[in-house]
A and B are shown apart, each in its own frame.
Chain A
Amino acid sequence: MRVAVHYLPIVLIVIVWEAVSRFGIVPTRSLPSLTSVVNAWIELVASGEMLANAAASIWRGGAGLAIAILVGASLGIAMAWWRPLRMLVNPMVEALYPLPKSALIPVTALWLGFGDASKILLIFLACMLPVTLGAFNGARGCEHVMVWSARALGAGRLRVLWDVVVPSALPELLNGIRTALALSFILLVSSELIASRNGLGYLIGSLGEAGVYDAMFAAVLTVAFLGFISDRVFQRFSQWVLRWRA
Chain B
Amino acid sequence: MARLSVLPFLALLIVWEAVARSGLFTAFVLPSASTVLLRIWADGATGELFIHLGVTLYRALVGFLIAAALGILLGLIITRVALVRWFFEPIISIGFPMPKIVFLPIVTLWLGFDDTLKITMVVVDAAFPVVTATIAGVAGVEKELTWSARSLGANERQMVREVLFPAALPQIMTGLQVALPVALIVCVVAEMLTGGKGLGGAMLGASRVADSPGIFAGIVEIAVAGYVLVQGMSAIRSKVLAWHPEALPPATV
Asked whether B243 is an interface residue with its Cβ less than 8 Å from the other chain, the reply is no
Are B206 and A106 neighbours in the complex by a CB distance under 8 Å?
yes
Give Cα distance in the complex from A214 to B9, angstroms.
47
Q: Does B163 contact A (CB under 8 A)?
A: no
CB within 8 A of A204: which of B98, B105, B203, B227?
Answer: B105
Identify which of A95, A217, A220 contacts B12 (C-beta below 8 A). A95
Query: When the two chains form their complex, are residues A99 and B223 in contact, meaning their CB atoms are under 8 A apart?
Result: yes
Complex Cα gap A99–B218 (Å): 11
A228 to B90, CA, bound (A): 12
Cross-chain contact A106 with B97 (CB below 8 angstroms): no
| CB-based contact A106/B192 at 8 Å | yes
Cβ of A232 within 8 Å of any chain B Cβ, yes or no, is yes
Verify if A107 is at the interface (C-beta below 8 Å from B).
Answer: yes
Is A23 positioned at the interface, with any CB of B under 8 Å from its CB?
no
Chain B: interface size category: 35 or more
A29 to B109, alpha carbons, bound, how many Å? Answer: 8
Minimum distance in angstroms from B29 CB to a CB of chain A:
6
Q: Is the interface of B mostly helix, strand, loop or mixed?
A: helix
Candidates A99, A103, A228; contact of B98 at CB < 8 Å? A228
Q: Does A109 contact B (CB under 8 A)?
A: yes
CB of B101 closer than 8 Å to a CB of A: yes
A10-B94, A91-B7, A227-B97 known; A106 vs B207 contact (CB < 8 Å): yes
Interface size class of A (residues with CB under 8 A): 35 or more
Measured CB to CB, the closest approach of chain B to A40, in angstroms, equals 14
Q: Is B116 an interface residue (CB 8 A)?
A: no
Check: A205 CB closer than 8 A to any chain B CB.
Answer: yes
Is B97 touching A228 in the complex (CB atoms < 8 A)?
yes
Which B residues are in CB contact (< 8 Å) with A111? 29
Q: How far is the CA of A204 from the CA of B5 in the complex (A)?
A: 42
Interface-lining segment among B71-79, B81-89, B133-141, B144-152: B81-89
Q: B: which residues have CB within 8 A of A? A: 5, 7-9, 11-12, 15, 29, 86-91, 94, 97-106, 108-110, 181, 184-186, 188-189, 192-193, 199-200, 203-204, 206-207, 210, 212, 215-216, 218-219, 222-223, 226-227, 229-230, 252-253
